Amino acid sequence: MGFASIADTVAIENEMPWSAREVPVTLHQMLAGTAQKHGGRNAISFQLLSGPTDKAETLTWAELYARSCQAANLFRSLGVGEGDVVAMVMPNCNETALTLLGGAIAGIVNPINPLLEPEQIAAILRETKAKVVVTLKAFPKTDVGQKTKEAVRHAPGVTHVLEVDLNRYLTPPKSWIVPLVRPKNDGTAHATYLDFNKELRRQPTSLNFADSTEDRVAAYFHTGGTTGMPKVAQHRYSGIIYNGWLGGTLLYTPEDNVICPLPLFHVFACHVILMACIYSGAHVVFPTPAGYRGEGVFDNFWKLVERWKVSFIITVPTAISALMQRPVDADVSTVKTSFSGSAPLPLELFKRFESATDVTIVEGYGLTEATCLVTVNPVEGQKKVGSVGIRFPYTDVRVFKEVDGAPVECGTDEIGEICISSPGVFAGNTYTEADKNAKLYHHGKYLRTGDLGRIDADQYLWITGRAKDLIIRGGHNIDPAEIEEALLMHPDVAFAGAIGQPDAHAGEIPCAYVELVAGGTVTAAELEAHCRTNVHERAAQPKYIEVLGELPKTAVGKVFKPDLRKRAITRVYNAALAEAGLNAQVVSVIDDKKRGLVAQIGRTGVLHDDEVGHVLGAFTRPWDWAE
């Protein structure tokens, strides 16, 4: 099916409404259909180590189907019904895919970022009322199992913890050494700990319970956004299958090999890649548990592409930047396209990648709240670098501005809030917490993304910033993207994050943090001068720039601005306290669910309480005494 322009999108929609298309109703139906068509073909491969000749395990579609059914049967045997939750605190491996599929078939699967701290993991387990948790058995060089144990301790609803032992992916002598150096990870009193694979083998290889007969919520994904504590989004079978249909119909074929070094706990890897491969029968490769973060992955990446005869590369801007600092030292002639998402791609980085690999990068846009996919630069059509392309079939993208409290649709190239309606949008029930859904939709159906953007005359969508990410200086709105784009123009800058730092007079003033390319030598003072030339709005010129060794990022490569905000609050408040000569300092900045970021103040000597209030009361960001 062709997909090269907005005309193709319209033609696909006119051919048949989405509601009339013959697509699977449930995930089990989709997986069973692919196993029946392509049973002997490779479905999924995983290698624990990154070397191009290291041991790898490949499952065919028939094997993936059988083991996913075993996983679903296992979860049902542990009391998981259609409305119950199987949480997954796992890096990538084949068991992660089995948990995703089996969990969504038996009940509701809830992937959780294993990089989160135990208290955050516990909060998500409590919010989703998880019954079963799948995680790692204690293993060298990772604390995932230990963190999950601590989280489960504070999640009394968890009845069973199933552990996956990565040692089975190793060969002797390494596999002999692991039991000798394995950290201890005793269980938690209120939960029963079991061996995932041992329990899996006891289950039949076809469903021993009736599959769902209609659409339902099958997954919970906590948001990976850059504002505040994670919220939990609900995904239905219909949205999951829609994302699989998009990739499987418009992009992949059974002959394709897709390399995806992104985490399966994120919608990009799970819905856009894994589900699309299930729909199409394409083969997906996951190198190392940590993906791009894994040891040696960047150094061996092009050799892995050659090994697996990769046709599609899945990546993010942070990974592209790292790859461009390595030579293309292998045969990459099988590669058709590279897909990039999660964050805007700087133009210079796009050009360098295309020149080095002779492969074009296709940018897209999606979000957890919409199950994922929204727009993409068409693989076979015009690509407008810097845009996120045209809408997918059956997705309605609108840009609204509020006038007198009511949404008004913006005209061509007029900036407003991007709002979407699609089979992936669960209107009215996007989040598990009902109060989080209030004021989340325009006209009862268009999900408000919080992203600022515009639609050009050719119907390409351009993201210009984040509505909640505005820097408000004395009532003047400043888009941080303008500052970031100016900084990224400097050849020494790899990544930039602009935020509003607290200011006693203006409320906020712009500041920026940057990460340099390897070998970059530019100083903060030089970047300030660069911004004075390239940030055309005087009010937007950053008043403070700091060069960091590495910017904090999410697992999928977005600059994680809450950490930058915490850093700025700490710096500004400590400077104010020091200037006032007070014996106090910021000991931490916490994310309060009701008040946002709150500075925690500790005493360093004799101090009157009201002195701190007098100094910090000049700022809008709240503070408390540290306990």
The strand pairing partners of 510, in sequence order, are 500
pLDDT along the chain (627 residues), means of 10: 85 94 96 98 98 97 98 98 98 98 98 90 94 96 93 96 96 90 76 97 98 97 62 96 95 96 95 97 98 96 98 90 90 94 73 88 92 93 89 97 91 93 96 92 95 93 77 76 93 95 87 96 97 88 96 88 94 96 95 80 88 86 87
Chain position carrying tokens 């504590």: 229
> 415-437 as b/e, with b when 16 or more CB fall inside 10 Å?
bbbbbbbbbbbbeeebbbeeeeb
The predicted-structure confidence for 321-331, as pLDDT tens digits, reads as follows 889 889 999 99
What Rg, from alpha-carbon coordinates, does the chain have?
25
Tokens coding 259 = 């390399």
> Contact, 141 vs 48, CB < 8 A?
no
For helices 94-106 and 61-77, the axis angle rounded to 10 degrees is 60
Distance (Å, whole) CA 119 – CA 154: 8
The predicted-structure confidence for 405-457, as pLDDT tens digits, reads as follows 899 999 999 989 999 999 999 999 999 999 999 999 999 999 999 888 899 99
The predicted-structure confidence for 43-69, as pLDDT tens digits, reads as follows 999 999 999 999 999 999 999 999 999
Residue 573's contacts (CB-CB under 8 Å, 6 or more residues apart) are: 502, 586, 599, 601, 616, 619, 623
Distance (Å, whole) CA 127 – CA 432: 8
Tokens coding 431 = 């989040």
Distance (Å, whole) CA 285 – CA 260: 6
3-state DSSP helix/strand/coil percent for the chain, to nearest 5? Answer: 35, 25, 40
Q: CA-CA distances (angstroms) from residue 440 to 169, 433, 582, 609?
A: 45, 12, 43, 40
